[in-house]
Structure 1
C-alpha cells in the first residue's frame, strides 16, 4: 500500500457529504472518513452504505471512524464504562459488526484508542491479530489503528508481512517526527501522521499563522507517511495551499529512501528523499528566528536542484541558504 491522503470530516448530513465529493476530489484526497455512529439503527446503517456506493461511483475512497468502546456501547445499549474486551462475547460482537460492514462494501476503518482491546489476559499484539483474523485478513481492506501510547514497540502491528493493521497512527504531539518516520521505515511498517502529531510547543501561531501551518503540513507530507487531515482544521488558505501540495503525490511516490541531514541544527528539519533517478531535498525552519545554514558538505550536488514548492515564495538553492521564520521549502533533482 502506498502513502495516502485521508480527510476526516465531522459532517453527519449525508446530502452535504454527497455534495462535498467535488471539494474532496479538488483537494486531492484518496479517502474520506466519517464518524456516523452517534445512534446505531438500521436506517442509519443503510444510509451509510448508500453513501459508500455513491463515493465509489465518484472514484473516491470512503471509510468509517469510531472509538471501539463507544461503538460497542451503542451496539449493546450499555455505558462505555461497562464495555470490557476481555469478554469474548463483546469481541465477537465487534467482529461481526465489522464483518457486516465489509460484506456490504466498506473498505476503510479508522479504529481509535486500540489500547482498549487489551486486557490482563490478552495483550495488544494478540488482540489486534485476533481482530485481523476475524475481520480484515485476506481482504482488500485498509485498517488504521490509532494509539494513545506512543511506544515504538507496536510498529510491527503495521508491518505488511504480518497479520495486523494497514497503518498505525498516534494521538498527540510527537517530539521528533523525522526519527519516528525513520524508525518505522527500518521495520517496513506503515505510519499515518496528522497535524496534531507535530510538536507545536513554542510555535508562534499568533504572528505567523499561515507560514507555521504550511510548514507543519509540508513536513508531514514530505516525510512521505500517509497523512490524515481533519477537515474542521482547514480554512480557505489551507485548502488552496494543500491542493498544490497534494498535487505532488505522484512525484514523491518515486523517492523511497529517507536520509536525515544537518543533525546539529536544532531549529531545522532537513532530510533527503531519494529514488532511482530523483532526489528531493526538504528544509524547514521550525522557529521564529531566521536561520542561515550551510548545506554544501551534505548536499554536494546542490546546484542541480530545482525549486519544487515552498511555504513562502519560489527560491533558488545555494550552498548557504537563509530560512525565514517557519519557512519550509522543497527542491528536486532529476538525473
Structure 2
C-alpha cells in the first residue's frame, strides 16, 4: 500500500478523534497492546467504524503470546497443527474486518534452516489476501529482509528492522543498502523517527532543529511511515487520552513541520515511489540523498553536527539550478553550488513539481 502512514496506539481507549488522525495524514492505526481475547467484539466494531472513515485497523500480534492464550500450553512452531491453529486465528480476524498485522517473535520461533520455507507457508496461509497489510519485526540481514518484503516473493508487505548500533558513516552505508533497489533487491521498510540517527543529534541545546532533522531525514526515505507516540510528535509528556493539544515551548513548530513532511510524503511521487541515491557517503557530518521518479527529483540534506558545514554540490548535479526550495527547519533558502548548512539543519529541494514556489 503506497503512502501508508500508521499511528501506533497502545490500547483501544487511546483511540482519538478521526480529525486528529487526518490532521497528520494517518490512514492506519496499529493497536500495540493486543493480548486480551475478550476484547475481540470491541475490536471488530472499532475496525468497522474506522474503515468507514478510510482508516485501517492493524493489530500487533506477538505470536508466542497469542499461541499460549489459544492453546494454553507450551508449543513448538515446528508442529504443523500448532501453525495451522495460528493461521486459522489470523484468518478469523481478517474475516471480521482487521486490515493488517504487525508480527513479532517470528524470528525466535523459526530457525534459519527452515526459515524460507516456513515464511512462505506462513504468508500463503494468512496474509496473502487483497487489502491486507502485513509487517514483520526482524533483525535479519539484507538477504532475508529482501525475501521477507520484496513483492516478487509475495510474503510480507513491510519489514520493521531492529537496527544494530553503528557509527554514523557505517549506519549511512547500511541505510543505503536497505533503501537501494538494485539487482532484484527491494526491501520495503517501515520508516520511524530514526533512533540510530538520534544518537548523533543534540536535543538538549537544539531541540527543534534536532527533532525536525530526524523527522525529515527519516520520513523522506522510501517506505511506509509509523508514528510511535505523542511525545515523538512534539507533545509534552504525561498526557492521558485527550484530543486537546498540550505543547511544550517548541512543540507546536515541530508538529507543524511533521504535518508538512507527511503531506509531502503523500503527495510527491518521488518520495513515495522514487529510487534512492546517497551522496557524500564518507562525510562524517552530512547525510544527503536524492529520491527520483519519472523526471521528478527531491534532494535532501541533513547536517548532523553543531557546527556550520560548507557542502560543495556542484559536481553532483548537472541540473542543479532547476531545483527549488521544498522545506527546511531554518526557513526558505536558495540552492547554490556551495551550500552552507547550519547546526542540525535539514533542507530539501525539489525539481519539476507543482509544490515548488
Same fold, judged at TM 0.5 (above): yes
Report runs of 4+ in structure 1 exceeding 4 Å deviation: none
CA distance in structure 1 between the partners assigned to 2:181 and 2:108 by the alignment: 23
Q: Give how far 1:150 is off.
A: 4.5
Structure 1, unaligned runs of 5 or more: none
1:316 — aligned with what? 334
CA distance in structure 2 between the partners assigned to 1:306 and 1:241 by the alignment: 18
Q: Is the 8 A contact 2:308 2:342 kept in 1?
A: yes
CA distance in structure 2 between the partners assigned to 1:165 and 1:70 by the alignment: 21
Q: Give how far 1:294 is off.
A: 0.7
CA distance in structure 2 between the partners assigned to 1:185 and 1:166 by the alignment: 18
Aligned with 2:44 (options 46, 49, 54): 49
- What's the CA shift string for 1:135-190, capped at 9, x where partnerless? 12243211011113454433122111213111111124562353133345651331
1:74 — aligned with what? 69
Query: CA 1:67–1:150 in 2, change beyond 3 Å: closer, same or farther?
Result: farther
Count how many residue pairs are aligned between Structure 1 and Structure 2.
326
Aligned with 2:101 (options 106, 109, 119): 109
1:1-335 equivalent positions in 2, closer than 5 A: 1-13=1-13, 16-17=14-15, 19-41=16-38, 44-78=39-73, 82-119=74-111, 123-172=114-163, 175-176=171-172, 178-183=175-180, 186=183, 187-232=185-230, 233-236=232-235, 237=251, 238-254=254-270, 256-334=274-352
Moved more, 243-252 or 233-242: 233-242
**Secondary structure in 2 matching 1:58:** coil
**Secondary structure in 1 matching 2:302:** strand
- RMSD over equivalenced CA pairs, Å: 2.2
**Secondary structure in 1 matching 2:155:** coil
Structure 2, unaligned runs of 5 or more: 166-170, 236-250
Query: CA 1:274–1:210 in 2, change beyond 3 Å: closer, same or farther?
Result: same
CA distance in structure 2 between the partners assigned to 1:197 and 1:125 by the alignment: 29
